[in-house]
Amino acid sequence: MIGVFGGSGFYDFLDGPQSVAVETPYGAPSAEFAVGTFEGVEVAFLPRHGSDHQFPAHRVPFRANAWAMKELGVDRVIGPCAVGSLQMPIAPGHLLVADQLVDRTWGRDHTFFDGPETRHLGFADPYCSELRPLAVDACRAAGAETHDGGTVVVIQGPRFSTRAESRDFASSGWEIINMTQAPEAQLIRELELCYVNISVITDYDTGVEGEIEPVSHAAVLETFNATLETLRGALAHLIPAAAQTARECQCATGMAAAG
């Protein structure tokens, strides 16, 4: 089974969706899952912010969401999300498949191993080495201007960055900015599931040089919705490809050396 985190616009992707409630040791996930088929593949979909977008990024129940994916039998997770661009060549409407992340969040439940059992995850490469090239190919097959690789800096939210913060992130050479990739990616890896991100570039962040309007939530939603059909096309290529690929990546055994 393939898992997909996303927004409410993904509900109508699935054929024959059934609502499935999952209980976890970490409380309830963001919503009930929609489980159905997509391009002939069984898919479990969960809106990470809740069915009514009631969870801001810093309140998303990330541990419950990740645990529920594994409980359902998911072994590969796709995490589309909206991001801002920190570099001019990466323009709104483009897609980017990240290969690195920088975590600037705080106070979130970042691990399943917070005592008394302690594990130290090797996380040098946060995204699945097998799913990443499949995702890049899928985005390009859908006709999107696609960037292969890039670093996402994850901020706490729910506010957007100040100009000074944004300029600092851009000067570090990071490409995109988001509020949900951490600890989502880490928790998925701790459960030894595969994870790949598809970032939808919705805006230029506030500190990007030039005549750039400050980012607003309305502008983010407008661009994301305009790109939704392209993202659907990418998923139509990626989900069957992922389902047909044997898991020989480091994700499946990532905790073996984490003691």
* Residues assigned a catalytic role: 203, 205
Token digits of residue 104: 């600037």
End-to-end CA distance of the chain: 28
Angle at Cα 84 formed by Cα 10 and Cα 157, nearest 5°?
85
Residue corresponding to tokens 């009930």: 32
Find out whether 230 and 143 touch, Cβ atoms under 8 Å: yes
d(CA 111, CA 97): 24
Asked if 251 contacts 198 with a C-beta cutoff of 8 angstroms, the reply is no
- On the question of a cis peptide bond just before residue 17, with omega within 30 degrees of 0, the verdict is no
Strand 176-178, strand 76-85: pairing: antiparallel
Contact by Cβ (8 Å): 65, 57 = no
Residues forming beta bridges with residue 81, ordered by sequence position: 199
Backbone angles phi and psi of 100, in degrees to 5: -140, 160
